[in-house]
Amino acid sequence: MSFADLGKVLKIFGGNDLSAAEKADLAKEAMLMVLARATAADTNIKQVEVDTVRKVLKTYTGEEFSSADIRVAAQTVLYEKAPLDRYVASASRKLDASARLSIANALKEVVKSDDRISDHEISFFNLIVNALDLTPAQLMGIE
């Protein structure tokens, strides 16, 4: 299944209810969007980050993505229509806490993949975690 069209993410803005399978696809699409965009959070897309995104997506979704897929998703025109955090917040209302936490944990792996974590990456992480509506306790795994 290709996630390039981000169909489930767009469908949630139409107010449609999602089946269990569509919710699972939505979680995968949201993760792809977040992780791909994270590679550009510090305005410098590094290959190590793209490679980490590919690996993390494979681990969490079971799907294979090329470097080109990640780079295209990072720069997609979707973000011109609305900020990523708006899409993530809308998606998170349809996802259970474990799916939202998986996205945050996957993002943490990507942000920590290169030698330094920039202020832009920290801001991006905080923005996404807020959009995912996760509590500090959930992030720590104690709730």
Domain boundaries, position 55? 18-140
Asked if 120 contacts 66 with a C-beta cutoff of 8 angstroms, the reply is no
pLDDT band at 59 (very low <50, low <70, confident <90, very high): very high
- Total number of domains in the chain: 1
Our measurement of the distance from residue 10's CA atom to the centroid of its chain's CA atoms, rounded to an integer in Å, reads: 15
3 within a domain of the structure (yes/no): no
44 within a domain of the structure (yes/no): yes
CA dihedral sign of residues 66, 113, 108, 106: positive
Closest residue by Cα to residue 124 from 23, 33, 61: 33
CATH code of residue 103: 1.10.3680.10
4 within a domain of the structure (yes/no): no
Our measurement of the distance from residue 2's CA atom to the centroid of its chain's CA atoms, rounded to an integer in Å, reads: 16
77 within a domain of the structure (yes/no): yes
Q: Which of the given ranges, 17-21, 36-40, 75-79, 103-107, has the highest pLDDT on average?
A: 103-107
9 within a domain of the structure (yes/no): no
6 within a domain of the structure (yes/no): no
> What tens digit of pLDDT does each residue of 62-110 get?
999 998 888 888 876 666 667 888 889 989 999 999 999 999 999 999 8
Strand ranges, E, within 22-127: none
100 within a domain of the structure (yes/no): yes
State the pLDDT at residue 95.
92
- Helix, strand and coil content of the chain, in percent to the nearest 5, comes to 65, 0, 35
Please give the Cα distance from 95 to 29 (Å, whole number). 12
